[in-house]
């Protein structure tokens, strides 16, 4: 497995901070407060994308890391819009560098799989950026396991490899356990999953009548519009009350405790909202508690669906 490190040689933190809210629900002042809180908690791995909040996310993050760039592991993503062609990757990455005010990044992801562009074109472009020193590591986001393996074969033929994958993963979105996690372990690919709080569902706030992405965004509402998911959130909140721990802390710590050793991406709209997620970095998750939390949700069947062999 490639060990992701800052340019100073410091391993990446157990948690990753996602800046999708920077310049959107979090203004520049609140973004800085969250960045400072994350750094104080030992986080050195920050994730963004070329199109987050119309580019404001990269601009704010770039300004925040400028003074201590070598202490930061910087990841961004391209290709969510426009595909994985050489022209689109180059165009997006040039915008990334302008917005971040950086000549290079530590990790560049393809934001999603592109059926219409040959993998040879996509990964030869990434390999060239890597050989030029513009990126250190190559990652993929929202790829299925079979797509990663096809891409990994192409990358190998070009003298490089996929070092990181960013799938969705939480107590109520466990599909990655079926093939993505085993594939990543086998290939030595670091797993950096997003949405460990299930779009905020696992904080317990929606059962209290509060609002957020699940009430304000139709895509998130549809993603988590399953009765059992909401029941799992209620169960997690009850467990948190029993233990005197925020359900958000339990949700993030549970995602980080999978045997595949993922490095969950946490985020928030404010420094105050971020506190419970940050607490997950130091939370001791016992095997018994891990099992109790896992039992609150529906575990996906194995890829072969032969339950008697699981």
CB 77 within 8 A of CB 107: no
**Could you give phi then psi for residue 136, rounded to 5 degrees?**
-95, -40
What 3 state SS string does 271-291 have? HHHHHHHHHHHHCCCCHHHHH
CB 255 within 8 A of CB 297: no
Query: What CA–CA distance (Å, rounded) separates 119 from 85?
Result: 9
52 catalytic per annotation = yes
- Helix (H/G/I), strand (E/B), else coil: 303: coil
89, 16, 78, 71: which is closest to 52 by C-alpha?
78
Count CB-CB contacts under 10 A for residue 186.
10
Query: What CA–CA distance (Å, rounded) separates 129 from 136?
Result: 9
**Of 52, 73, 169, 206, which is the active-site residue?**
52
Query: What CA–CA distance (Å, rounded) separates 87 from 295?
Result: 47
Query: What CA–CA distance (Å, rounded) separates 149 from 155?
Result: 10
Task: Classify residue 149 by burial, with Cβ atoms within 10 Å: 0-12, 13-18, 19+.
Answer: middle
Catalytic residue set: 52
């Amino acid at each position: 497995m490639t060990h992701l490190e800052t340019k100073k040689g410091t391993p990446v933190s157990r948690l990753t901070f996602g800046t999708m809210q920077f310049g959107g629900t979090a203004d520049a002042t609140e973004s800085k407060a969250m960045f400072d809180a994350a750094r104080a908690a030992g986080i050195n791995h920050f994730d963004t994308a070329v199109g987050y909040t119309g580019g404001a996310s990269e601009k704010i993050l770039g300004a925040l890391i400028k003074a201590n760039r070598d202490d930061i592991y910087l990841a961004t993503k391209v290709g969510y819009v426009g595909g994985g062609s050489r022209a689109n990757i180059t165009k997006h990455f040039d915008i990334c560098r302008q917005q971040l005010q950086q000549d290079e990044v530590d990790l560049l992801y393809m934001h999603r799989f592109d059926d219409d562009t040959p993998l040879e074109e996509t990964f030869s472009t990434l390999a060239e950026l890597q050989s030029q020193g513009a990126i250190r590591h190559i990652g993929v986001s929202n790829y299925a396991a079979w797509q990663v393996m096809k891409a990994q074969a192409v990358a190998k033929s070009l003298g490089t490899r996929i070092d990181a994958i960013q799938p969705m993963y939480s107590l109520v979105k466990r599909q990655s356990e079926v093939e993505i996690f085993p594939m990543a372990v086998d290939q030595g690919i670091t797993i950096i999953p997003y949405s460990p709080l299930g779009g905020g569902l696992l904080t317990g706030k929606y059962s209290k009548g509060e609002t957020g992405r699940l009430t304000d965004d139709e895509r998130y509402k549809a993603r988590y519009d399953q009765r059992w998911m909401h029941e799992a959130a209620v169960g997690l909140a009850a467990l948190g009350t029993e233990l005197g721990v925020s359900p958000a802390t339990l949700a993030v710590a549970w995602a980080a405790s999978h045997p595949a050793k993922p490095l969950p991406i946490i985020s928030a709209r404010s420094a105050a909202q971020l506190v419970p997620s940050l607490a997950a970095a130091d939370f001791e998750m016992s095997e018994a508690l891990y099992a109790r939390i896992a039992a609150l949700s529906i575990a996906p069947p194995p890829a072969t669906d032969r339950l008697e062999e699981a």
